[in-house]
Amino acid sequence: MRYQTSYSVPIVAVILSAANVFGAETIGPYTVNQTPIAASLTSGGGGSFNWLNVANVPVSINEAFTGFSVIADGYANAPAGTTIILTFAPGSLYNGSGPDLVLFDADNDGNNYRVATSYNNFASEILLTPVNFIDTGVDRSFFYGGTGPTNYNITASEIDLSLLGVPTGALVEQVRLFCEGASNDPLALAAVQAAAPTVSEWGMVILSITILIAGTSLLSRGSAPGNAR
């Protein structure tokens, strides 16, 4: 008698681990699937513009607005004229159905942001004002430039790329945030559309499954009665 080996459980595990190329994080009513891979301050800033962090540790603009733990850090008191460019990985941000991005901010104290994308060289923009932001029901205590901590309500505004002149299914690489209010406190700009795995990523999934099946098959043959030497 040969032992029968079930491949279903390990195969499912491999698929889940290999296909989960992009992380996911839930913040209030939103599930974030993509975050920028780079961020830079191109204008503005100034004296009161300083870092926010749940730990009393300084963070750069790039550190604050990239990666996950999306609302763990950011910047506060961005004066009018402050501009931040956020770059997403190629193929990770596209115009899907419904909201595509969510802008998170610490409290809703006069938020005014002009948002544009590189799809049309930043020619089209929308203005987000306090009426566009909702309370996510999530709070965080932040250190501000080394002082604190102080508790903040995490607010959020949805962004539909269609309103920025991006056709359905079209890809976007960069998003520009222009602060127009007197005291914006941006925490993150993140995508809520889940990007599909690329061809190369599916190749890794298939390769992983093939190796798993081959290895398990060899082990089962070796352990079956009559195969021992």
pLDDT recorded at residue 115: 98
Question: Does 212 lie in the same domain as 137?
Answer: no
Question: Does 175 lie in the same domain as 205?
Answer: no
CATH number at residue 118: 2.60.120.260
Q: What are phi and psi of 42, to 5 degrees?
A: -105, -15
Question: Does 216 lie in the same domain as 121?
Answer: no
**Under a CB-based contact definition with an 8 Å cutoff, are residues 105 and 186 in contact?**
yes
Question: Does 99 lie in the same domain as 148?
Answer: yes
pLDDT recorded at residue 46: 86
CA 184 to the chain's CA centroid: 20
The DSSP secondary-structure symbol of 78 reads B
Quick one: which of 101, 103, 118, 113 has its CA closest to 160? Answer: 101
pLDDT recorded at residue 70: 95
> Which pTM does this prediction carry?
0.77
Question: Does 101 lie in the same domain as 67?
Answer: yes
Question: Does 27 lie in the same domain as 9?
Answer: no
Question: Does 214 lie in the same domain as 105?
Answer: no
Give the total number of structural domains in the chain.
2
Question: Does 141 lie in the same domain as 67?
Answer: yes
Print pLDDT tens along the chain (229 aa). Answer: 333 444 444 443 333 333 334 468 999 999 999 999 999 999 999 889 999 999 999 999 999 999 999 999 999 999 999 999 999 999 999 999 999 999 999 987 878 999 999 999 999 999 999 999 999 999 999 999 999 999 999 999 999 999 999 999 999 999 999 999 778 999 999 999 765 544 444 454 455 556 656 555 544 555 444 544 4
Q: What gap in Å lies between CA 110 and CA 54, rounded to an integer? A: 22
Computed from CA positions of residues 58, 63, 67, 70, in that sequence, does the dihedral angle turn out positive or negative?
Answer: positive
Radius of gyration from C-alpha coordinates of the chain: 23
Domain assignment of residue 159, given as a range:
23-191
